[in-house]
Chains A and B, each alone.
Chain A
């Protein structure tokens, strides 16, 4: 074991060094827009997590179990490095091993469930993992002293801690969690890991297995009668997702240095889902982009940190309603070329989101150049102008077939456009120096856009003809 690890060390060390040199310029650039230190680590970890859920979704399984696997990886890794002086590499291997093992054990019974039943079972799995980690020390302490099962429990615990007979077991440290984990994760580790995963994904798509999983996602029953072993591939996808999530757990524990059971609650599962939803599942790049973006955003939008929850929720909602293909669908020519009202709505909202992003990055860019932070705020003026034109365009389009709905929309669009035009002019003339005024105007405008879009929504695309039979 040791010789193998040494061998890998010898190969990997130079790779990490080269990577570090190569990515340094990029890191410098990121620092300019406010992304530095462990934020970059978290972004990359989010991308890895996005990939982990991508595998299950690619196979048509809606699994929210990945936060649980992340917890398993994080705790196994942290226990090894804090109590056994293991290296990060060893922690990674054992963390992935543990996550994979548990995925195999629970996968067989659990993956018989479908759709919403699978989703809630995986939510339940995550909760059980979290609670068991929290209560682990007490539970194991009692079991250890039990006359019947004590022996086995001691053997198992012996793998984790040296002093099995300590009066109070300290393995997961209950609700407080494990502290002082060595912060050994470097950006280079994550970049290399991510690149390996990216290659893996790339090949996966063009492999026999990738095709089979795509077929299962699209129509499980037909896939089965095309000779695909559905149960097997579902378990494989779940297993791969689990080991990747475990690896992300190990990396994140060794980035933060402190972990607790509450870090891996339902909210974390939702975050992981959001990476995939935001990026889109149309291509393997999606979850990576989604993870990077969503994790970077609170840092870039630092003045809006207060509104992080609001923005995250809004993004999830807008993307799932207007951009079901996620951000990556923007890169498809068909997205910009297709006709129909739904597509127009998609484009408008997308343009809005992209502009929000640009306008929020700009202040920092400018700040780096001069101290022109206030100048940056004037850029806000451009955003509403763009969006209001887009919204007006979209809403006017709505009028023709449905006059009664259109009237409100036009009214709203008009007000929105007016507010923002005023803002733009004031901003350009330099009348707005007070930042808070800008905020309020911005929020009002945002509310109007969202309100207008939602009221005038939805498009009547051929719902009836696209309906698939409910009961197969």
Chain B
């Protein structure tokens, strides 16, 4: 589904990513861990097109995407969440989810002006689908609330709902458990496993080893912009190099 080949990104003299190779396939949860500043978010941004690598290849769903604009990558079936929640705060919960299906729609302003049947049908369809997704995430009672008025946990869930709204083939989750308690983390893990069961490729960036062990099939460890090691969660936990990279830096 996703494959990175020798992806390198530097800012000025600072190398954020150095020859990163990574594979993630459908129906599998891939973990990405590493100390703070290891380049995890840069990597996610490069995959989703918000940033572009200086060299190397990113292949998603059979397309080379390393130079592509983010909206086109999304149209290929990629969705993501953000480390610090980034919702459209001036919009309602429902609209936040509807916006994610934007690229699926075809109606133009012209259709809307004349209220053509095709436009009405499309709007109804998008609305219904968004409501279904909100229902799945237990947010349907909040559909007309402004996104900024939601509690932290609800905002996290809404972001996840938004990511899944457009039937993505792959989802990137950037520290989805930040600020969550153990019970919420567990629930989130269930959701991730649901996605996996639905055949979606998931790439999850996390610090929480419990979640990693719960959901991940394979884990990449990133340190100073380089892949330190790859393995199953159990292998990773025993790897002395990983322990060294984390010691004194995290927790």
Contacts and interface: CB of A to CB of B under 8 A. Distances in A.
A225 B109 CA distance: 22
B67 to A, nearest CB: 14
B109 A228 contact: no
A108 interface: no
Contacts of A457: none
Given A211-B98, A469-B84, A225 B91 contact: no
Contacts of B74: 224-227
Contacts of A227: 71, 74-75, 100, 102-103, 166
A21 B7 CA distance: 70
Given A208-B107, A218-B91, A469-B84, A225 B50 contact: yes
Contacts of A209: 108-109, 112
Chain A: interface size category: 20 to 34
B88 A229 contact: no
Nearest to B106: A208
A230 interface: yes
Nearest to B84: A469
A225 B102 contact: no
B90 A218 contact: yes
B113 A200 contact: yes
A356 B213 CA distance: 67
Contacts of B166: 226-227
Contacts of A214: 88, 90-91
B162 A203 contact: no
Nearest to A200: B113
Nearest to A208: B105
B86 interface: yes
Given A203-B115, A221-B70, 5 more contacts: A208-B102, A225-B71, A225-B74, A227-B166, A229-B71
Interface string A205-221: 01111111011001101
A204 B90 CA distance: 17
Q: What are the 6 tightest A-B residue pairs by CB atom distance, in nearest-first order? A: A227-B103, A207-B112, A227-B74, A224-B70, A225-B70, A218-B88
Contact of B99 (A204, A221, A228): A228
A426 interface: no
Contacts of B107: 207-208
A113 interface: no
Contacts of B80: 225
A226 B162 contact: yes
26 contacts: A206-B123, A207-B107, A208-B105, A208-B109, A208-B112, A208-B122, A209-B112, A211-B102, A218-B88, A218-B90, A219-B86, A222-B82, A223-B88, A224-B49, A225-B48, A225-B71, A225-B74, A225-B80, A226-B74, A226-B100, A227-B75, A227-B100, A227-B103, A228-B71, A228-B102, A229-B69
B144 interface: no
Contacts of A225: 48-50, 70-71, 73-74, 80
A222 B112 CA distance: 25
Given A203-B112, A203-B113, A215 B91 contact: yes
Contacts of B105: 208
B95 interface: yes
Interface in B108-146: 108-109, 111-113, 115, 119, 122-123
Contacts of A203: 109, 112-113, 115
B55 interface: no
Contacts of A222: 82, 86, 88
B89 interface: yes
Given A208-B105, A227-B102, A215 B50 contact: no
A239 B120 CA distance: 26
Contacts of A207: 107, 109, 111-112, 119
A469 B109 CA distance: 34
B218 to A, nearest CB: 24
Contacts of B98: 211
A241 B58 CA distance: 38
Contacts of B69: 224, 229, 231
A199 B113 CA distance: 8
A392 to B, nearest CB: 33
Interface string B52-95: 00000000000000000111011100001010101011110001
A211 B100 CA distance: 10
